[in-house]
Amino acid sequence: MESISNEGMCRCCASEGTFKDFLTTYHWMGEEEIYADMLRDCFAITLYTSDDFNNGGICEVCITQLRNACNFKRQVQQTEEQFKKRVQNSVLKSSVIKLEMAGVDDGEHSDTNLSDEFSVTEFEVPIKEEKVEEKPKKRQAAKPSTSRAKKAKTEDGEPSAKRTRRKTNIHENTVRKRKGIIKLISKATPSLKVVIKKKLEVDKHLDNIREILLNSNATPIRCKGGIGYACSFCTEQFPEPADLKTHTIEIHDERTKSNFMKGITLDDFIVKLDITNLKCKLCDTNLENISDFLDHLKTKHDKRTGVNSHIIPFKFDSDVLRCSICSKQFNNFKVLMEHMNIHFGNHVCEVCGAGFVNKRTLRTHGYRHKTGIFSCSTCSKIFDTKVKRREHERAVHIHMHRRNKCGYCGERFTDYTKKNEHEVKIHGAKPIILSCNACEKIFDNQRSLTVHSKNYHLMERRNK
């Protein structure tokens, strides 16, 4: 259960007040958070704890900064991987010389003595192109005429050692040497197109939820806390979902809603949305579900809408908590949230086949399948999974068997029923009413309802 800790000092900013326990597991946007673990994973900081002194907690401002830091770290890591792939796949630009040996004579001074590797018709050699600066021409002194023998020899086609070499025009990319032709050919580098699929997918989800929040009365739910349903834009909690809806519509403006979920990666993306009495703000049309509303925005109002596979809808239009898709009844919002993974199984566990909305929930679930020998750091007990060991340490050694915490004052209780009684009597909380699905009996706690169902209705089935 998510709740507020006793008064003390925030271990991140040293402010005084009533804060959350940094060793307790909380749920935010459908994900588990242990702030001490997040500090260790992101900054390699391990917070000191003492059994004889109030260890304090962590304030909401620091929690937000910590979430942003963790998200930024994941973003940098993902970007680094994308950059490495880009470097590996890039093609260096290169220029090549393509030599074509055309019409070589078999005369006395022809290049018939070239080696075999240079006797092919054409080949390619990488070169480095440099621009040659043209120097001003100097007037050359007149040279004496050649002798008759040399002149005759030159006219017969033999090269003269003193013959002036013909200058080559570099801009034509052609060099003539003897009777061979050297062509300079620059190979065009293929364009490199990098598509960041995750970023584009996240943008689609962000645009989608923005259109929903700005054009309807649907309101997001951050979590079900110790007092009630928590607002996604501030720290307020409300026992009734209807009060949260009124608060969100009246208090938080469109600018705040437009920035909802910004900075969240696709792996962490999930929205719990209250669609009770869903209505379009543009034309006051009533819609039944999110899919109908998105189609309505697209066809009637020319709005760009898309995927909704990470939006979990809830309806609170009766006294009984039901699934908005299959109408199955539940007595606990947390159990209902776990049930919704059946309808939005975007990612499936390879071990047990269970489906989950996003990758982070799947990874958290995967820890339950990693078995081994995990011993408690305080006592001699041994567990087969890290999850069981962590639950043992928190329940026995950290909270001293007082795991149930009051959402109003932070007082801890060994029993869940005693905590509920304390909240009703001391803080005026609404009593919990749980009804049996098989008969009309009503109970004030889940334990009594479970015992009743096993002792009466399950036995009746066995007898039949």
Neighbours of 317 (CB within 10 A): 12
10 carries a ligand binding annotation: yes
What are the Cα distances from residue 240, in Å, to 96, 172, 243, 317, 421? 74, 81, 5, 11, 19
Angle at CA 164, nearest 5°, toward 161 and 168? Answer: 125
Neighbours of 369 (CB within 10 A): 12
Q: Are 212 and 218 spatial neighbours (Cβ–Cβ below 8 Å)?
A: yes
Q: Is 334 helix (H, G, I), strand (E, B) or coil?
A: helix
Task: Tell me the pairing of strands 271-274 and 311-314.
Answer: parallel
DSSP output for 209-252:
HHHHHHHBS-EEEEEEBSSSEEESSSS-EESSHHHHHHHHHHHS
13 carries a ligand binding annotation: yes
Element (H, E) at 65: helix 60-89
Enumerate the β-bridge partners of residue 223.
230
Where do runs of H (alpha helix) occur along 252-303? 254-258, 290-300
* Phi/psi of residue 208, nearest 5 degrees: -65, -50
Which of 137-173 are b and which e, b meaning 16 or more Cβ less than 10 Å from the residue's Cβ? eeeeeeeeeeeeeeeeeeeeeeeeeeeeeeeeeeeee
Q: What's the rounded Cα separation, in Å, for the pair 99 and 118?
A: 9
Q: What's the rounded Cα separation, in Å, for the pair 342 and 324?
A: 13
- How far, rounded to the nearest angstrom, does the alpha carbon of residue 226 sit from its chain's CA centroid? 28
Pick out the residues of the known binding site for Zn(2+).
Answer: 10, 13, 59, 62
Pick out the residues of the known binding site.
Answer: 10, 13, 59, 62
